[in-house]
Chains A and B, each alone.
Chain A
Amino acid sequence: MTSSPAPVLESAADSTRVVRTTRSRGEVLARLAQRNGALATLVVLVVAMAVVFPSFATAGNLSQIAIQSSFFAPLALGMTFVIFTGGIDLSVGSVYALGGVLAAWGSQYGPVVAVLLPLAGCGLIGLVQGTIISRTAIPAFIVTLAGLLFARGLLLILTDEGSTTYKVPADSAFLQLSRGTFLGLGWPVWITVVLFAAGVLVLRRTSYGSTLLAVGGQEDAAELMGLPVRRSKVIVYTVSGLLAGLAGALTASYTASGVTTLGVGLELTAISAVVLGGTLLTGGAGTVFGSLVGIVLLQVVANLINRLGLTNSNWQAVVNGVLLVAVAVGQVQLSRIQARSRPGDD
C-alpha cells in the first residue's frame, strides 16, 4: 500500500485515507491492450489496407464490408451476452438457418409475418434452452448442442428434408429490409448499430447487465446477493435465439430465399468474434463494442485475403484460427500480468 500510516482515529472522517492503486507501466499497457487490442488491430489493418489497396477505402467497398458484417452481427451480440454469464450457445448457427427459412416461408403472408415468425420461433427455442439450463445441472454446452441438432432437424422438416427452398416473392416489401438504404447505408447496418447501442446500454446502464456479469463472474455471490440468477439466464438464451433468428431473417431478405445449408459452424465464428473483441470466455467481464469490432475485424481480414488473391475461403479459416489463438494467448498473458501486480498482496 502506498498510503502513509494514520494516527489513532477519533472519527471516521478523520481517517480518510487515499487509496491510489499504483500501477506499473507494464500493467497499464497490458490493461489497455486487453481492452482495446482488437480495435487497435482493426484500425491499423484498415489504415494499412487503405494505403496498399487504393480500391479499399472507397465508400462502396467500405459499405460492402459494413453490410456483410451486419447480417452476422446480431448473432454475435446474442452470443456476447451469453458468454457474459459464463455460458455458451452452440445452437445459434442452426437457429440462424431456421430463422432464414421461417422468414422466407412467412414472406408469402406479408413482410410482417416474415419478420415476426422467425423471431417467435427462434426465440421460443432460446427460451426452452434457457429454461433447461437454468433449472438443471446440465451444462450449457450440452443443452445448446442438442439445440443445434434439434433446430437443424426442425429445419429439415419444414423444408421437406432440405429439398424445398422457399423463395421470397419478388414484389415483397420484405426484400426492402436488406436492400433498402437510409443515408447511404443499408437497413441491416442501421439495425446492427441500434442493436449494439442498445446492448451497450443494457450492459452499462441496467441492473440486468450487472446481474449478467455477476452471474458470470461469481455465481454464488450473485445468489447470496439475491440477484435473479435464474431469470437472467432464461432471458439471455431467449434473446440469443431471437437475435439469431433476426440475423437469419435479414439474410433471407438479402438472398430472397431460405437456404437450409447455411450457418454450419457459425456459432464458432461468433465465439471467435467475441473472444477477439476482448470478452472473457469464462464470463464476468467483457465488452459489447468489442464483439462488433471482432466481427468487423474478421470481415476486413476476409477482404484482405481476397485481395491477396487467395480467394479461397479456406485461407480465411486458417487465418481466423491463428488469429484466435494469438488473441487468446495474449488475453491469458495479460491477465497474468494484471494478477501479478495487483496491490494488497503484501
Chain B
Amino acid sequence: MSTQTTTPEARVETSRPRRRLDAAWVARNGVYLALVVLVLLNVVITPYFVSASNLRLQLIQAAPVIIVALGMSLVIGTKGIDLGVGSVMALSAAIMPLYIGYGTLPAILIGVAAGLVTGFVSGTLVAKLGLQPIVATLAIFVGGRGLANVIGGQIKNLSDPGLVRLGSGSTLGVPNTVLVAALVFAVVWFVVRRTTFGRGVEAIGGNPRAAELAGLRRARILLIVYMVAGVLAALAGVLAAARSQASDPRTLGLLMELNAIAAVVIGGTPLTGGKVRVVGTVAGALLMQLLVSTLVAQDVPDSVAQMIQAGVIVVAVWVQLGRKRP
C-alpha cells in the first residue's frame, strides 16, 4: 500500500542544460517576444500605427478581453476552466439597463452582481458537488445566454450619461475602459503575487493533494475563484455595453470564452494549472487583439484571419509544452 517515492526513473536530468534553458525560456516568455515582433511588424507595414488614436483604439478594444482573461487565468490556475464567461457578459449587459433608473452606479453593481451569482453557482458545483469544471460552466454557457435573452431584449440606445462616460469617456487622457482594465490587472497581479490567496490558487492547481495536506482550504479557494471570474466577466459585459451604448444579448460576448482561454494559454499559464502568469495573460490578450487588428489593417479577410488565429493558438500551446510527450 505504500507508494514508491521518486524512483530513479522519475527525475530526468538534462544532459544539455543550455538547450533546455532556452526552450523553457521561450515557453515562458515567447508571448512577449511575439508581441514585440508583431508591434515592430506593424510599425513597418501599417500606416498610422504609432499614432495616439490607434494605440487608444487597440487598448479600448482589448480591454474587455483583458478583464475576462484575467479572471479566466485564476480559474485555469486551479486546473479548472470557465466556459460561461461569454454568457455572463451577455447576462450582466442585459440586467444592467433594467436598473438604470436607480442610477448609473447601482445599475452597474447589480449587473456585476449577476456575475457573482453565476460564479457562486459554478463554484459550488465544482467545489462542493464535485462536478467537473467543464460541465458546470458549460451549463452556464448554455443557460446564461438564454436567460440573458429572456430578461432583456435587444436595446439599441443606452444613453445614460454615466454609462456613456464610462464607456466612451476618458480621464486624464486615458479611456475609462482602459483604466478599469488597468485597475483589474493591478489588483489581480497583486493578489496572485503578493497574497496568501494567490499562493493558494497556485498550490491547489499545482498539487492539490499536497496543498490539502498543508492545511489549505481547497473548497473555499475554488469557490472564490469562480466567483471572481464571474464578477470580472460581468464587469466586462457592462463595459462592452457601455461602450457600444447597446446591449444585444444575442451577440455580446460571443466566443469570448475562446478568446480568453487562448489569451491565458498563450500568455504562458498552463492549462494544467499550478502557475498563473498575470502579465503574460495581458500580453496574450494584447497579442490576440493586435493580431486581429493587424490582419484587418492588412485587409486580410476574416476567414484567413481566423485560420491564422487557430494556427497561432496551437503553436503557442505546443511551444509552451516543450518536449513533453503524450
Contacts and interface: CB of A to CB of B under 8 A. Distances in A.
In the complex they form, do A and B come into direct contact, defined as C-beta atoms under 8 angstroms apart? yes
Nearest to A162: B302
A212 B132 CA distance: 21
B219 to A, nearest CB: 15
Interface string B295-326: 00000011111111111011001100100111
Contacts of B130: 332, 336
A281 interface: yes
Contact of B311 (A146, A275, A316, A328): A146
Contacts of A338: none
A139 B314 CA distance: 10
A157 B303 contact: yes
Contacts of A185: none
Interface of B: 81, 83, 125, 129-132, 134-136, 138-150, 254, 258, 261-262, 265, 271, 301-311, 313-314, 317-318, 321, 324-326
Interface string A142-164: 11011111101111110001100
A315 B303 CA distance: 32
Contact of A329 (B125, B150, B265): B125
Contacts of A154: 303, 307
A287 interface: no
B325 A137 contact: yes
Interface of A: 88, 132, 134-139, 141-143, 145-150, 152-157, 161-162, 264-265, 268-269, 271-272, 275, 281-282, 312-322, 324-325, 328-329, 332, 336
A125 to B, nearest CB: 11
Contact of B302 (A161, A271, A275, A314): A161
A324 B141 CA distance: 11
14 contacts: A142-B313, A153-B307, A156-B303, A264-B254, A314-B146, A315-B150, A318-B146, A320-B143, A321-B141, A322-B143, A324-B143, A328-B132, A328-B139, A329-B131
A252 B317 CA distance: 35
**What 3 A-B pairs have minimum CB-CB distances, sorted nearest first?**
A321-B143, A317-B146, A156-B303
B129 A268 contact: no
Given A150-B307, A321-B143, A329-B125, A137 B149 contact: no
